[in-house]
Amino acid sequence: MSPDPRNPRCYALVPAAGSGERAGAGMPKQYVEIAGRPLLAHTLAALAAVPRLVQTLVVLSPADERFEVALPGYTGWVARVGGASRAESVLGGLAELRRRGAADADWVLVHDAARCLLRPAWVDALIDACLADEVGGLLAQPIADTLKAGDAQGRVTATVDRRDKWAAQTPQMFRLGLVEQALAALGAAATDEASAVEALGLAPRLVRAPLANFKVTWPEDFALAERLLSAG
């Protein structure tokens, strides 16, 4: 039976093919243990607790040999189709979703593996805001700090007006056909799915989310994530 475009399904896609070099952990950061579990395990547990997600696909590097050891018993979908850039990994994941029955009209929520403090309620808020939206949208946080532009020597070149600025987060929720078209057109220049959709002349919806939904990137981020996860 073919999917009904009037009742689109929601899938999650987690690109986890990166090396995590900036984290300085000596291994891909998605496998670094935080609060007793690999970082990626926390991320996937949060997505698994969202009933409206019919399935989560984890996109790994073809050379990944850690996943099954680090996350034994994981029952979601896994595909070793990751590429050299985020866009390539997501495109590989979208193609895999198609092979597993997803259709153009279905929603795909792309989420950073390293945003391991994600909470199901935030995902539900995004789905609620975007299900009836013509474009889709993303979790984001209004910028509170004063923004500075800097040069290669680490000196300020300008103060940037923050009044309409948001820090993009994930998940980012778009229909499979749209985000596939957008990423294929923009290629590796796409730093996230929303920027690719914007390049088509569309305006994704901003859905406010807490600062706690931060991306573990630098060495000091692991200690902060450890404290927050340990505190519940």
Domain ranges in the chain? 10-133+170-202+211-230
Angstrom distance (rounded) from CA 204 to CA 48: 25
Amino acid, res. 201: G
Please tell me whether residue 34 adopts helix, strand or coil conformation: strand
What pLDDT, on the 0 to 100 scale, is given for residue 1?
38
Give the 3-state secondary structure of residue 111: coil
The lowest-confidence range among 2-6, 123-127, 176-180 is: 2-6
Res 26: pLDDT: 72
Instruction: Provide the b/e sequence for 84-102 (b: ≥16 CB within 10 Å).
Output: ebbbbbbbbbbebbeeeeb
Q: Are the C-beta atoms of 48 and 132 separated by less than 8 Å?
A: no
- How large is the average pLDDT for residues 167-194? 97
In CATH, which of 3.10.110.10, 3.30.1200.10, 3.10.310.30, 3.90.550.10 is domain 10-133+170-202+211-230?
3.90.550.10
Residue 60 DSSP label:
-
Kindly give the pairing relationship between strand 10-15 and strand 107-110: parallel
Closest CA to 15 of 135, 152, 190: 190
pLDDT tens column, 41-68: 999 999 999 999 999 999 999 999 999 9
Is residue 173 within 8 Å of 126, Cβ to Cβ? yes
Split at pLDDT 50, 70, 90, the class of 18 is confident
Q: Are 15 and 93 spatial neighbours (Cβ–Cβ below 8 Å)?
A: yes
Check whether 22 has a pLDDT greater than 70: no
Select the more confidently predicted residue: 100 or 163. Answer: 100
Residue 163 DSSP SS3: coil
